[in-house]
Amino acid sequence: DIQMTQSPSSVSASVGDRVTITCRASQDISRWLAWYQQKPGKAPKLLMYDASTLQSGVPSRFSGSGSGTDFTLTITRLQPEDFATYYCQQANSIPFTFGPGTKVDIK
């Protein structure tokens, strides 16, 4: 199985800040990576797929990059509604696996 790790596990930030989250796969997954946002008590929401393609309706302040084993999710100009937990997921092979999550909270 492909193991996914994320760093940091949590980050405190202010509205307007730039936040970068890193995701690493235990083996090469090319660009088969997706990012999700989850708010407390809610289902996850797909933000990005193919490592850097924004899902329809997702604001352009979210961006992704990377390929192979190392990926990043960047949120520029953090907004109040962006405080949430973010997960990466590899879509390269079954079983699909998620990272442990990165919680972005208010400083």
Which has the closest alpha carbon to 37: 94, 78, 90, 86?
86
> Nearer to another protein by C-beta: 82 or 86?
86
Q: What are phi and psi of 57, to 5 degrees?
A: 90, -5
**Cross-strand partners of 11:** 104
Tokens 């998620």 belong to residue: 98
User: According to CB under 8 A, which residues from 57 to 76 bind another protein?
Assistant: none
Per CB under 8 A, 99 contacts another protein = yes
Per CB under 8 A, 34 contacts another protein = yes
Of the candidate spans 11-19, 21-29, 47-55, 65-73, the one that interacts with another protein by CB under 8 A turns out to be 47-55
Per CB under 8 A, 55 contacts another protein = yes
Of the candidate spans 22-30, 58-66, 75-83, 95-103, the one that interacts with another protein by CB under 8 A turns out to be 95-103
CB 88 within 8 A of CB 71: yes
CA–CA separation, 39 and 31 (whole Å): 25
CA–CA separation, 107 and 58 (whole Å): 24
Q: Residues 74, 96, 106, 107: which binds another protein (CB under 8 A)?
A: 96
* Interacting residues with another protein (CB under 8 A): 32, 34, 36, 38, 42-46, 49-50, 53, 55-56, 87, 89, 91, 94-101
